[in-house]
Structure 1
């Protein structure tokens, strides 16, 4: 007998994304770092996002079961005012931009999203939410570059913007040396009135 057919899977997460004008502002601020450190694995600007729940590898049918509950979660929540501010790094390997603004609301949104996904019977590793936007990863030996870029972002104070949609995002498998690429599986407008 042959091996059983394995159901196709996809790596997914749920996120919010800054608008183009906020991303362009940060991209301009990063211009000198792009020139100084071309060896870093820079994320593409169109892929910048703030992860609320990382779900890992899921079978394709699980995505269908999540769509209605994520649509409901977005419809029930107000948009939030956020901004990209400052920066830092994780373990001298990953450089990120910080997120500021209505962070309590962002945490509540993440809790709602995670609860809705668990209610679908989907289990995933839960880590505390640390709102950030990943910008680049170091290759071996480039840790000083990460620390320097994070330092350059310390004074960055981006414009305020409102969240518009909740995104269900799939990534390529990110294996190997190439850049990880993302694509929206679906996205839902926030339905509640903006918080006052």
Structure 2
């Protein structure tokens, strides 16, 4: 068994993840788009997240203190009832599905996460939260696929689900050529109280 050194930089974000059955429901609704727009750069289903704070490319050294800082205060916030709804796009380049449900609670959670990140001295470009699930990106020579795929999702209404875990996610930037892959660095169950949340955190090897 060989140990892999940590990459010098990693793309880092904090997010919620829909459960598998909610993702499967959306994937079924996307079948016509998968078949009709194969040139889109489709995200892997296992990488579908609702991002609360995107920190961009960071030194690997920021991950341990951020993991420790998130373990307590954020876990005391309640789980959220959410659902996936419809589709849309940003600038005809990025295809997404929308988020419905307890959006007020989602904004509170995002604000708490961003406060923790800032308290760790981690600099990032803080953008207003526009809750969505990124599905695909367009190639430069394919300007029509994303708006058409978004229109095809306009009637999609996903079943409600509970967002019960907060995830700290990092990429494999620095590990050589090939597509970027993401994995959970740690996750915490929401709504269990700060001390219990710190004790209950799952940490990936």
Equivalent in the alignment of 1:106: 106
Deviation per CA, 1:40-90: give whole Å up to 9, x if none.
100011110000001112222211111122111332111000000011001
1:33 correspondence with 2:33: yes
1:83 correspondence with 2:86: no
Equivalent in the alignment of 1:3: none
Unaligned runs of 5+ in 2: 1-6, 194-205
Alignment map for 1:64-83 (pairs within 5 Å): 64-83=64-83
Structure 1 stretches of at least 4 aligned residues deviating more than 6 Å after TM superposition: none
How many equivalent residue pairs? 185
- Residues in 1 aligned to 2:119 and 2:46: alpha-carbon distance in whole angstroms: 31
Equivalent in the alignment of 1:44: 44
Unaligned runs of 5+ in 1: 1-6
1:41–1:179 Cα contact (<8 Å) kept: no
1:43–1:179 Cα contact (<8 Å) kept: no
- Residues in 1 aligned to 2:73 and 2:97: alpha-carbon distance in whole angstroms: 26
- Residues in 2 aligned to 1:134 and 1:78: alpha-carbon distance in whole angstroms: 24
Deviation of 1:136 (Å): 0.3
Equivalent in the alignment of 1:186: 186
Deviation of 1:192 (Å): 4.3
* Deviates most, 38-47 or 183-192: 183-192
TM-score by length of 1: 0.89
Deviation per CA, 1:115-171: give whole Å up to 9, x if none.
011111112110000000000001122221100110011110000000121111112
TM-score by length of 2: 0.85
1:75–1:192 Cα contact (<8 Å) kept: yes
1:83–1:158 Cα contact (<8 Å) kept: yes
1:79–1:192 Cα contact (<8 Å) kept: no
